[in-house]
Structures are given as structure tokens and as C-alpha cells.
């Protein structure tokens, strides 16, 4: 799963199985976190992208 998370309040801006363009996620929220109203940017220090890789069991 891919996550785009607010670095201040950990609000999940996006979560899904497919990678997403962060700029699109930010644009969706008007470049602000809807919870804490922190101004978001593309700087990796301000927006955390967590990637959780799930192991798939073989056939
Ligand atoms: Zn926030």
C-alpha cells in the first residue's frame, strides 16, 4: 500500500495500492492538510510517503 501522510498530524491524504503523484494528491486538498491546515509541499520532509510492500504468497 502507498500512503501520503501529513508530516504534522499524520492525516492520511492518500492511501491505495497504486503509486500516486504527490502533486495530484496535494492539489486535491488545495495544498493544505484538511485536518491541521498545514501547508503542504512536495518537499519530502513535509510530506511523508510510506510504502508498504506486501509479500505475495506463491501459487
Ligand atoms: Zn495535517
Residue 15 bridge partners (DSSP): 3
Instruction: Report the separation in Å between the CA atom of 33 and the middle of ligand 1, taken as the mean of its atom positions.
Output: 5
Query: How many domains, in total, are found in the chain?
Result: 1
Is there a domain that residue 57 lies in?
A: no
Instruction: Report the separation in Å between the CA atom of 56 and the middle of ligand 1, taken as the mean of its atom positions.
Output: 32
Give tens-digit pLDDT for 30-46: 988 999 998 887 654 44
Instruction: Report the separation in Å between the CA atom of 28 and the middle of ligand 1, taken as the mean of its atom positions.
Output: 14
Is there a domain that residue 56 lies in?
A: no
Instruction: Report the separation in Å between the CA atom of 51 and the middle of ligand 1, taken as the mean of its atom positions.
Output: 19
Is there a domain that residue 17 lies in?
A: yes
Give tens-digit pLDDT for 46-58: 455 566 666 666 5
**What average pLDDT does this structure show over 1-22?**
87
Is there a domain that residue 25 lies in?
A: yes
Amino acid at each position: 500500500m502507498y500512503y501520503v501522510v501529513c508530516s504534522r498530524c499524520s492525516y492520511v491524504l492518500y492511501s491505495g495500492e497504486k503509486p500516486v503523484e504527490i502533486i495530484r494528491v496535494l492539489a486535491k486538498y488545495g495544498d493544505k492538510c484538511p485536518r491541521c491546515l498545514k501547508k503542504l509541499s512536495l518537499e519530502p520532509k513535509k510530506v511523508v510517503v510510506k510504502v508498504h510492500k506486501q509479500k505475495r504468497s506463491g501459487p
